[in-house]
Amino acid sequence: MAISVENGVFHLETANTLYQMKVDPFGVLIHLWYGPKTDYTMDYLLDYPDVGFSGNIHEAGGRRSYSLDTLPVEYPAGGGSEGDFRVPAVSAAYTDGSGVLSLRFREYSIQKGKYAIPGLPAVYAGEEEAETLEITLLDAASKTEVHLLYGVLFQKDIITRSVFVKNCGDAPVVLQRAHSLCLNLPYGDWEWMHFYGRHAMERQAERTALVHGIQESSSSRGGSSHQQNPSVLLCEKGCTETSGFCIGAALVYSGGFQTQIELDQLDQARLVMGINPHTFCWTLGPGESFHAPEAILCCSNQGMGELSRCFHRVIRENLCRGRYQLSKRPILINNWEATYFDFDEKKIERIARQASQLGIDMMVLDDGWFGKRDSDTSGLGDWVVNENKLRGGLDRLIEKINGMGMKFGIWLEPECVSEDSDLYRAHPEWVIRVPNRNPVRSRSQLVLDLSNQEVIQYLYHAVGKILRDHHIEYVKWDMNRSICDWYSAALPAERQREMPHRYVLGLYSLLERLTGEFPHILFEGCCGGGGRFDAGMLYYFPQIWCSDNTDAHDRTLIQYGTSFFYPISAVGSHVSAVPNHQTGRVTSLKTRAAVAMAGSFGYELDLNKLTEEEKEEVSQQVQAYKGYQGLIHSGRYYRLSNPRKDPMAAWAFVSENQREALVQGVLFQAAANTLPRRIRLQGIDPEGSYRVKQDGRVYTGRALLCGGLILPRQEGDDTSFTFYLEQISSCEK
């Protein structure tokens, strides 16, 4: 069994890890351990002195060494409840103005299979793969129940966490915070890694030592954001890609979030993660419950690389869904950087025809095909074909593209609206806007109120009609602004602070209906590129446009940070034109393709402007990726360098059976009169022998692991390399 209970101690075991907690003599649930298996109950570590100014609960009597301000409480309450002054996981307010939660153990249950969460995405697993533990804590005075949910996926070394709060009393309870995860780490010298950024430079990995006090990574922008990502790593000092202990947590949520880590007065670390309380409040009437989103938790004593591979596997196999979850993706050509808004059907047909001749599978029509849409200042929300651009409509264009042997895809941005649009003129009350105040614009657009069921129903029918009426096999679902000035015309005043979370619930319900009705369509998420690249969106969209920045050099940094939690199959990545439209940098077609292949591959340029030699190179890239895609998407991913510190970006994909490997990378700045660089491999069989396809040379696996591959001599900045290795038998040496 993955879950067992002995003498009030809960043991949650995976193949390589152990999570322990205990109900103490006063009914408080205390965290004991999360880490490698110990074959021992770890409560002997609870050796606490009397710490000055740390209060003692009433039940403890004269035991001054017993304080919730120092103990590793499994799910601590806020507002200084019972003397715990550290960052809390939950807080509430009552009709009498008080806000204390005294949470005591009430009961538990264990079930086969993995719990689900109403209205929210979550990891799924059958009875043969997972078990669920539910622990109920009760605040007797207010009759508020807190249900802690733990999903244990034994073979995948994953534990999921979620919470729901139920008001069992007779008066309303106002939730002010309901985090999904709390993890106490009483011992260790910790560093943390978060993933900051901005539009066109998302998920930049930053690792730093914990300092005393609270460090925070959060978003209040309505989405998970370009600026921070809802994922975090805690590493012991000295932890590397291949050795050392680390813990990772990723929130399965696409709205405002908060991750806080406090290093307290005793050098203990506490991590909490969940919905951002600065844009959250929820009133529970008698008998009502609130369900928090899920957090995915994993730890590894074999370094950060193994931790990442665990996250890749569970997200790809137990969170992503649908036809394209594990199957190969079409290679696409998108017209955005080729044409922007300036196109007609002839221009699109020319791009598609050339793409078809080069072996590309799909033509994607981006922004500008609908309404009065010649710039980003008008037409958004009017999902009617602009026949001044596309004479004969979508069906005629799709028929021609299908006739070229290509699939057809389309861009949509359903969540936003232009003020200069028929939709806004008809329903100005449908936008997020504070009464009697001027709205804040971003990209010249406003946001539709997805907390309003009438808006959701309209969008379901409007988007559904496009997908029903036309032979569309791919949708790029975009969202090009952050959300502020929260206010819904559909909610009463006392419920307005519920709106940010209700928006996310509305979005999820809309996506559930559409992806369920159109299972043949490949949906790709986008939010100005990577502004909503999170595990919540991957439940509905198996891939996400990684960044609007398609510069090959910058993309190595963006994709490096992305790889710590998210599978490579989820990374939408394209070869675009040079000079690059975001940076002006010029890189070779070879380098652009090597970087874009570390994801779900495509092109975003006018292929007709390439030379004949470049077109032949594109054709070869397309065929190469089709051969490599199975290995890239389902193989084990290894970061072979840190591009934020090293003079190169390098990565590898190794098949589960270790019989093949693809090694790729980019050498950054060229230098004169130097030795060639080398790169040590990871993940291959040390007892095997491997032939390199590019030059036919044979190496032992141990030589490649210890000595590495010699990289090509660098001629110019940002030059790429690719090696495909295949294991050979002894008679082939």
In a domain? residue 430? no
356 in the same domain as 218: no
The HSE-up count of residue 26 (CA atoms within 13 Å, CB side) is: 17
Q: What is the pLDDT of residues 627-653, one digit of tens each?
A: 999 999 999 999 999 999 999 999 999
- 3-state DSSP call for residue 28? coil
Asked which of 605, 634, 663 is the last residue of a domain, the reply is 634
* pLDDT at res. 447: 98
Q: What is the pLDDT of residues 428-441, one digit of tens each?
A: 999 999 999 999 99
Q: How many domains are there within the chain?
A: 3
Q: Residue 730 pLDDT more than 70? A: no
- 3-state DSSP call for residue 45? helix
Q: How confident is the model at residue 499 (pLDDT cuts 50, 70, 90)?
A: very high
* pLDDT at res. 571: 98
Residue 106 burial (CB count, 10 A): 15
Q: What is the pLDDT of residues 179-188, one digit of tens each?
A: 999 999 999 9
* pLDDT at res. 731: 63
Q: How confident is the model at residue 729 (pLDDT cuts 50, 70, 90)?
A: confident
528 in the same domain as 403: yes
527 in the same domain as 402: yes
Catalytic pick among 241, 345, 534, 660: 534
Q: Residue 351 pLDDT more than 90? A: yes
Alpha-carbon distance values, 319 to 58, 427, 653 (Å): 44, 36, 21
Pairing of strands 201-209, 246-252: unpaired
What is the DSSP secondary structure assignment for residue 496, as one 8-state letter? G
Mean pLDDT of 39-45: 96
CATH number at residue 654: 2.60.40.1180
Over pLDDT 90: what percentage of the chain? 98
* Residue of 475, 441, 450, 442 lying closest to 369 (CA atoms): 475
Asked which of 585, 608, 634 is the last residue of a domain, the reply is 634
d(CA 681, CA 690) in angstroms, rounded, equals 12
42 in the same domain as 84: yes
User: Of 71-85, 100-114, 494-508, which range is least confident?
Assistant: 71-85
Q: Residue 26 pLDDT more than 70? A: yes
652 in the same domain as 555: no
- According to DSSP, the residues that pair with 10 across neighbouring strands are 5, 21
Q: How confident is the model at residue 79 (pLDDT cuts 50, 70, 90)?
A: confident
CATH number at residue 45: 2.70.98.60
95 in the same domain as 24: yes
In a domain? residue 599? yes
Q: Is residue 108 packed enough to be buried (19+ CB in 10 Å), middle (13-18) or exposed (0-12)? A: middle
Q: What is the pLDDT of residues 697-727, one digit of tens each?
A: 999 999 999 999 999 999 999 999 999 999 9
86 in the same domain as 34: yes
Active site residue 614: yes
What residue numbers bound the domain in which 603 lies? 332-415+451-481+521-634
592 in the same domain as 657: no
d(CA 184, CA 247) in angstroms, rounded, equals 12
313 in the same domain as 165: yes
128 in the same domain as 53: yes
Catalytic pick among 189, 614, 656, 732: 614
In a domain? residue 364? yes
Omega before 414 within 30 of 0, i.e. cis: no
Q: Do the beta carbons of residue 221 and residue 202 sit within 8 Å?
A: no
CATH number at residue 358: 3.20.20.70
Asked which of 610, 634, 658 is the last residue of a domain, the reply is 634
Mean pLDDT of 461-477: 98
Q: What is the pLDDT of residues 669-684, one digit of tens each?
A: 999 999 999 999 999 9
Q: What is the pLDDT of residues 554-568, one digit of tens each?
A: 999 999 999 999 999
Alpha-carbon distance values, 448 to 57, 429, 481 (Å): 48, 9, 12
Q: Residue 732 pLDDT more than 90? A: no
d(CA 284, CA 172) in angstroms, rounded, equals 6
d(CA 270, CA 182) in angstroms, rounded, equals 7
Average pLDDT value over all residues in the chain: 97
Residue type, 209: A
Cα 550-552-558 angle, rounded to 5 deg: 75
Q: What is the pLDDT of residues 395-430, one digit of tens each?
A: 999 999 999 999 999 999 999 999 999 999 999 999
Q: What is the pLDDT of residues 682-695, one digit of tens each?
A: 999 999 999 999 99
**pTM of the full predicted structure?**
0.98
Mean pLDDT of 164-173: 98
Q: Residue 377 pLDDT more than 90? A: yes
* pLDDT at res. 685: 98
* pLDDT at res. 117: 98
* pLDDT at res. 733: 63
Q: What is the pLDDT of residues 566-611, one digit of tens each?
A: 999 999 999 999 999 999 999 999 999 999 999 999 999 999 999 9
309 in the same domain as 358: no
The dihedral formed by the CA atoms of 551, 603, 548 and 307, expressed in degrees to the nearest 10: -80
In a domain? residue 324? no
* pLDDT at res. 1: 78
* pLDDT at res. 336: 98
229 in the same domain as 83: yes
